[in-house]
Chain A
Amino acid sequence: MRIRCPYCGERDLSEFAYWGDGGYVRPDPHAHDPEFAYYTAVYLRDNPAGAHAEFWYHGIGCRSWLKVTRDTVSHRILGVEFAGARR
């Protein structure tokens, strides 16, 4: 697998670390029933067969966190962007 880091260019899988469901949003700690909100956010994951938005970390590279859209059946990369707002 090769991921095109928006900063470094296309790089081999071995430079990246994976962190799962890219839909993760840290819940508002002041929300109603924060414990349930955190439980849901931390433990329940999107796990589709097909297009999946996910976090990848270019740790052996520019250390950018990326949001990669990837097909979990074909492993084809459908899109890559910086996970955070570009500074």
Chain B
Amino acid sequence: MMEPHAAIAEIHIEAGEIRQVVRAMARRGEEAEFARRVRDTFALELPSKPERVCREPVAVVGIAPGAWLVMDSGFSSSLMDRLKAAAGTTASLCDLSDAYVFRRVAGEKARTALAKLVPIDLHGWQFPVGSAASTLAAHVSVLLWRLADAGSDPCFEIGVPRSYAGYIYEALAHAATTTR
């Protein structure tokens, strides 16, 4: 398992705060209606592209056409139940709360370290706060998005399928170590 709080050079890697994760997929022809219901219940606009929107404690990331990852950083009540109530028959929901391990990677050199793993452009112009991507990291399919800056430094959150977490953490730690 990943060791949280590894602080190497100018890079900080720590556990994410996401507690509940639901993958929501609009039923056929129901995307607009589902979006409306999410807006009404969570005051969040479902992104139509790979983006992250957030209204604490709930965040939504677009991960595929018609599919989103809805995340809650609290335990207070079941996200699944709330979503189910909101969506009715407009979406299929699937609990993935245990499927990912999330890590935050922040700091001046966060981008440099991540660039060794993911083949996408993380420059601020191309990947501003709120951007998200399903992509590749060291041979593994991962989720990545950019949170609000930590001070003046960028902060990313990476979601790794649980079974790969140890491997990716090692790759990330290696990338951070060799980043001067």
Interface residues of A (CB under 8 A from B): 7-9, 11-12, 14-15, 59-64, 82, 86-87
Contact, CB under 8 Å: B141 / A59: yes
Say if the beta carbon of B124 comes within 8 Å of chain A. Answer: no
Contact, CB under 8 Å: A15 / B135: yes
Of the residues B29, B31, B65, contact of A62 by C-beta under 8 Å: B65
The minimal Cβ–Cβ distance linking A1 to chain B, given in whole angstroms, is 12
**Which residues of B have CB within 8 Å of A14?**
119, 136
What interface size band does chain B fall in?
A: 10 to 19
Contact, CB under 8 Å: A87 / B63: no
Contact, CB under 8 Å: A64 / B136: no
Majority-rule SS of A interface residues:
loop
The closest CB in chain A to the CB of B28 belongs to: A87
Known contacts A7-B65, A60-B134; 4 additional CB pairs below 8 A are A7-B49, A60-B135, A62-B64, A62-B65
Of the residues A7, A15, A82, contact of B50 by C-beta under 8 Å: A7
Answer whether A11 and B135 are a contact pair too, CB < 8 Å, given A62-B65, A87-B28, A87-B31: yes
**Which residues of A have CB within 8 Å of B136?**
12, 14-15, 60
The closest CB in chain A to the CB of B50 belongs to: A8
Contact, CB under 8 Å: B31 / A63: no
**Which residues of A have CB within 8 Å of B141?**
59-61
- 4 tightest A-B contacts by CB? A62-B64, A12-B119, A60-B141, A60-B136
Report Cα–Cα, A87/B136, bound state, in Å: 25
Chain B positions 121 through 147: 1 when the CB is less than 8 Å from some CB of chain A, otherwise 0: 000000000000111100001000000
